[in-house]
Structure 1
Amino acid sequence: MTGSLLLRNARLLDPLSGEYTEGDLRAADGRIVEAGPGLAAADVPVLDLRGAVVLPGLVDAHVHVTASTADLGSLSSSSPSYVAAQAAHTMSRMLDRGFTTVRDASGADYGLADAQADGLFRGPRLLFCGRALSQTGGHGDSRTRGTQVKDDHPCCAGLGRVADGVDAVRAAARDELRKGAHHIKVMASGGVASPTDRIDSTQYSADELTAIVEEASAANRYVAAHAYTARAVNRALELGVRSIEHGNLLDDRSVSLFLEHDAYLVPTLVTYWALKEEGREHGLPESSWRKVDEVLGAGMAALERAARGGVKLVYGTDLLGGMHRHQNHEFRLRGEVQTPLEVIRSATSTAAELLNLTGEIGTLDVGAYADLLVVDGDPLDDLGVLAEPKHFRHIVQGGEVVSG
């Protein structure tokens, strides 16, 4: 991404201060190089925004770009080439929704990330973890009770890999890091879409989780843990996990641990709403659909508890299959609990912190990637501006207008 561009007469939103600055912004070679009034055009394309709002490109820190169906167990029988084509289509749509960077929470690999970076298809910048680590019978084990053969062949599509025991999880974590993982994803509790576990279970022993955290830390990476109950969340935080995904059933002790360990929470409220409304028509098995109620109502209360306690919150959606189209609805759901500025930060500056990309994304500061969202309307006054892509006038990635 090496585009050059000048935006004139913009209202530039700084997510950290929550303040607008009126003026121009210039990008060159894919980066923001200058901001202020009356900038020289310097022989680059010019867009006169006439007072439209410019904010950093959005970040979704919990996606599954290869999840073309909610029937996750069926992915391993799909052709990898078909899954890749589906993922490219899914990522293109994400870009049109204003998301210029996404963190994949299992399924995507270096091939998709490299293809996007090389411009082979349009889509957000992709941070990947490869496959999530799961214990036998855990949230990443897609086998039904009657299936005995474990299929972790690297050529096949899938979201998880099964590894049991300290030595095995060390090897699995090292293998994902070998392939370039930006983070390690671990299943630390039961989940909705897995066929044989309970949502209220804890998964992996303390020794196994500690080994995974040690391997990620040794590579200057971090661990993101799928966890629902307070027991699972608290245990993961105490063992050094940096990012808790979901956390619907956390408690006050969880809030204290988030603050003590400088950890992040990535709620994914919209996926439960979508799974309940239309999950079955997109492939979610009936047994998994019946689990949704266990976490659906609790998610908003958990978000409110965490926000009130000062936990660092990051935007995530976790949508599957045809439900990806609801990606921006998370803004509306969070707006029921948080202020618009808090929600915007979760999808920009705070997300950048979690992804170790502070100063690179989620900001309009000079030197950052020129990933920009131009909207009609004031998102600080109405989060519906971000919940409805029809309000997006232009989406800029790396200094190039890629939509609008």
Structure 2
Amino acid sequence: MAQIILENARIFDGVSADCAEGMSVLVEGGTIREVADRSIKADGALRIDVAGKTLMPGLIDLHIHSYFSDLNAKVVDSRDAPYRTAHAVKKLGHALDCGFTTVRDIGGGDFSLASAIADGLIRGPRFFYAGKVLSMTGGHVDYRTPNEQHHTHGYCSCGSMNWGGVVVDGVDECIKAAREELRRGAHCIKITASGGVMSPSDPMWMNQFREDEIRAIVNECAERRTYVSAHCHPISAIRRSIEFGVRCIEHATLIDAETAVFVAERGAYVVPTMSVIFVSMEVGAKLGMAPESMAKLKIAADSAIEGLQHMRDAGVKVGYGTDLLGSTYDQQCREFTLRSEVFTPLEMLRQATSMGAEILMQEGRLGCVRPEAHADLIVVDGDPLKDIGLLAADGRKLDLIMRAGEIVKNRLN
């Protein structure tokens, strides 16, 4: 089995601000076998001199939608699977080139796409997915406009199901849908627990799903040894979701100081998504975003950065996510720049590595540089602990990208 040794590296391990220098890392078969403060002996190994640059875990984006090929969800539906897949290929390849060696598709990603990546048919990051999002009738992933009446329940190509979600009402339907997505290989289940920006018939302040419905979905995931993540904007949705057993909150855009303390005390996770808010504010109207969605987006933008500050002050466990839609996926690294208004480089590096692994329930395998971890690594030309802009440069400041032991990019030697 081929061996690669990365020598003379300065290692950021995903957690510590103290980076060990002069380190060597032995990679074999997609796995890190040894990390040492000396030269590693291995006959026949490919040796790469890192030249004292920063070797660190590959980045993790916890909130993407691979198939979301337009800012209008109904347009995405009408383009059908081949177009959505072509979009996913470009989006995932760009993510890998930016140093994201792992992504979590939190709505729409499926077993077929995961298999294509695993089999090398598509060039992309390590892929976790939540399957179809569960939404109640009139919820955030029910994309029918108010004048559309057609609705038939079940897993079919009708009004209750689209490329990204399935509409379910009542405990039995929630249980069945959760079980179906888990059967299809979903690594977690996502629900819409509040209104959203892109959906046409629900205000952002609206709480969604009853307590018994959410608890039923949470129970199904617990039995599968996984978790529920919930789309939430207002504080009421955040609070009730966590009270009912949800482990991770997506967005949390309207969070206040008191709710941030509540989230931290409960040990729940939050994945804010700044990029989608500010990028869509800039180009949404030009790219066809509906006026009602732009109005809701303005509400989110007015509170987003303040919400980050509340999370930081309360010590909330925060992961890195972007949620970029359509052609705006090329702004994925901008999330670092936006978060830098509140967080330090070290905090952001942890969010995009070790905390991402914790949220994915992959501690010790992802987001770290240690023996038996996946060999998902990047080499930064500079010190990202001092200059987070090195990671916001769309991969231009990365001299090496390694995914599962395979060298994707190498400018070192």
Scaled by the length of structure 1, the TM-score of the pair is: 0.96
Unmatched 5+ stretches in structure 1: none
In the alignment, structure 1 residue 25 sits paired with structure 2 residue 31:
no
- 1:232 is paired with a residue whose SS is helix
The one-letter code of the counterpart of 2:94 is: R
Q: 1:119 to 1:366 in 2, by over 3 A?
A: same
| Amino acid aligned to 2:401 | I
The whole-number CA distance in structure 1 between the counterparts of 2:337 and 2:85 is 30
Contact 1:75 1:157 in 2 (8 A): no
Alpha-carbon distance in 1 for matches of 2:278, 2:2 = 38
* CA 1:285–1:88: 2 relative to 1, 3 Å: same
Contact 2:252 2:270 in 1 (8 A): yes
Identity %: 41
Is the Cα–Cα contact under 8 Å of residues 237 and 257 in structure 1 kept in the other structure?
Answer: no
Structure 1 residue 3 displacement after superposition: 6.3
- Mapped contact 1:282–1:323 kept (Cα < 8 A): no
- 2: distance between equivalents of 1:210 and 1:360? 30
Partner of 1:71: 72
Q: In the TM superposition, what is the alpha-carbon distance from 1:53 to its structure 2 partner?
A: 0.8
Kept in 1, the 8 Å contact 2:193–2:208? The answer is: yes
| Residue of structure 2 in register with 1:346 after alignment | 351
**Does 2:142 correspond to 1:141?**
yes
The answer to whether the 8 Å contact 1:240/1:261 transfers is no
Alignment-derived partner of residue 8 in structure 1: 7
- 5+ residue gaps, structure 2, are none
In structure 2, the residue matched to 1:387 is 392
Whether 2:281 is the aligned partner of 1:280: answer no
- Residue aligning to 2:235: 230
1:197-236, aligned counterparts within 5 Å? 197-236=202-241
Q: Decide whether the 8 Å contact of 2:2 with 2:45 is kept in 1.
A: no
Q: Deviations over 1:349-375 (max 9, x none)?
A: 011001000001000011100100111
Aligned AA (2:248)? S
Query: 1:180 corresponds to which letter in structure 2?
Result: G
Q: Measure how far apart 1:89 and its partner are.
A: 1.8
One-letter amino acid of the structure 2 residue matched with residue 45 of structure 1: L
How far residue 153 of structure 1 moved from its aligned partner, in angstroms, is 2.9
How big is the shift at 1:292?
Answer: 0.7
2-structure distance, mates of 1:41, 1:226 = 48
Give the direction of change, closer, same or farther, for the CA distance of 1:355–1:154 in structure 2 (3 Å limit).
farther
The aligned residue for residue 124 of structure 2 is 123
User: Which residue number in structure 2 is paired with residue 324 of structure 1?
Assistant: 329
Which residue number in structure 1 is paired with residue 294 of structure 2? 289
In the TM superposition, residue 259 of structure 1 has moved relative to its aligned partner by 2.6
Q: Deviations over 1:265-289 (max 9, x none)?
A: 1000111001100123333222212
Q: State the Cα deviation string for residues 83-122 of structure 1 (Å, max 9, x = none).
A: 2222122111110011000011101101111111111111
**Cα distance between partner residues in 2 of 1:285 and 1:158:** 19
Aligned-CA RMSD value: 1.6
CA contact (8 A) 2:129 2:186 kept: yes
Q: Tell me how far apart the structure 2 counterparts of residues 298 and 145 of structure 1 sit (CA, whole Å).
A: 28
Could you say what secondary structure the match of 1:10 adopts?
strand
- In 2, Cα distance between the equivalents of 1:73 and 1:312? 34
Alignment partners' CA distance in 2, 1:21 and 1:100? 22
